Structure 1
């Protein structure tokens, strides 16, 4: 593939991401042979020595990458424990992909639910400066893109579009009770780790926005209640550490329904993967029939 080739119209795969990574290494002086692919989701994530390189699935994610880097740099000025971007002119556009580079963290463990709650409580106490220009939280910002790229038949697509339409209506009708302010946007224990010094760190800030704090508290409750991904004790540690139990809020079940639909739409865009296709069929069946969600899984 020539060095000026735009790969953004091709699926993000180890091959296409690897080509982008080699060009990133050429531009920055990093050593490509030292690279190790960690995972591919919305981003292909590589460890290159002391650096983590994130290559976005779509060029449309450039504004989110700019926001993520800006938020991380702001948090550093507040001595908040979060991912640290390299001191480069970034994000970069490389072969049509959005790329960001971060200081690698020596992860000793995933954060506990209590540690996540403590991070969120501190994060929610911050006031974002006007120059950060955080957008209003819009949980549906990417859903049309997900569905447009989903390899589904029209019946399944029509069903999901209908559920999204209902979710938008429900979102507009919710009466939030916690103060509006800065939110992480995708707060779960998968986006927080404990580093080598024993410090919990908040990661993946690309969804940062201003909005109702309930959105950041939802996933831990949902993961415990409906999926069994957390125990009741783990959820109690979360709500005790944060100081609020979202399950007692009257809008909780409707907000949980919204999140389930969005989780399913996100997965639908990845249904060309064998695991994702099987998981998607399971989720669609549960949404249609009201079946138990405890067999939902995450890779």
Structure 2
């Protein structure tokens, strides 16, 4: 891990500028996701646009396995809490689906229309609503800002009801953001509207894990040093606080292609998420 002190915090979190053809990825994601949704609709294995709240973006897609569900996987997207919606990520449901798990992929309100603390509570409402669609254990995965959001579900104090917390079997934070205080120094904070108090409250690395948590911090070895540092930070702190935490730096993967493992049922990321 690069130990050079960070001076330019905007550059520390800039991904597309440091990835070959980085600006092309959102278009690719949208096409892959749309093709997968069409495939699932044709076989009646997608229930789209289920509402979980009063706002236009309070919607999730539910992907259904063949046969009885073995449990519920929730994938929460990234984009620095400012970009994207559920329509970019549908194809990431394929890996868990082929193992017999239901998969929920939500949209949520974005900054600056909602604060990060409000988005975190939205994700708890998604989980509370979606468990009515699939019984059994719960598995959480999130990418980048989504990694932050799923980790907050198992940090103390959690927004989830106790009955839901006890059903969570595994959490994977993929290139997650776990200490939000450096974001106070970035230009994007004009949109995020973080202050010191919220940055502290919304940093899972600064809080204790819930009891009996199994977490993996998964990051690409070719990512920006700050994302590698953020994963190692949470892994180190929560291990010291008694959580079962794994840290994976996947070789040759960067911030935009590290999530592709979820598309494949036998990829180590999918198998780790499902505790197979």
Q: Same fold (TM over 0.5)?
A: no
Whichever structure has more helix as a proportion of its residues is 1
TM-score when scaled to structure 1? 0.32
Q: Normalised by the size of structure 2, how large is the TM-score?
A: 0.34
Larger radius of gyration, structure 1 or 2? 1
